[in-house]
Amino acid sequence: MYAQNCESRAQLVDLVDVYCANTNKKALIVFDGVSNIDLSTNFVQVINAGQADPRIIEIMDEYEASQLILVSSDKQLQYEARQRRIAIINSEKFNLHAIIPVIDRQEKDTPFLSDAQVAEQLKDLNYFRK
């Protein structure tokens, strides 16, 4: 998620939390390293895994493929996800900064994206195709 240009882990979690709250989705973020600070929210679970990649692979095995979308540019993680038939989005293509302003403008009327906006996002994400 480095492509989101977030200055801190907390900023990234906040951005993902807003996205999830407004799209009624849940997210799991796995960071490298260890931290005593729990950044989890109602919509975002944060895991500080020391080594993130092995933990992400374990998570892939704990859930049904249809429940997961991997957002990562790591080629090895993408390979592991493809082996499990998990949808993949490159970090560079998952642009939360483009989605959040649209959500903020709509918040007065509805917390959800319009059909046209969903169609545009799906097109931008290549309909989650590999």
Where are the domains positioned within the chain?
2-128
Between residues 1 and 78, which one has the greater pLDDT? 78
pLDDT for 105: 46
Closest CA to 41 of 7, 18, 70, 66: 18
Check whether 2 has a pLDDT greater than 50.
no
Q: Sign of the CA dihedral 74, 117, 39, 11?
A: positive
Q: How confident is the model at residue 99, as a pLDDT?
A: 55
% the chain with pLDDT above 90: 42
Tokens of 76: 């090895």
Instruction: Report the chain's mean pLDDT, rounded to a whole number.
Output: 81
CA 23/CA 14 separation, integer angstroms: 14
**pLDDT score of 26:** 92
- pLDDT tens across 58-115, in order? 999 999 999 999 999 999 999 999 999 999 988 888 766 555 554 454 454 555 667 7
The residue that leads in pLDDT, 44 or 98, is 44
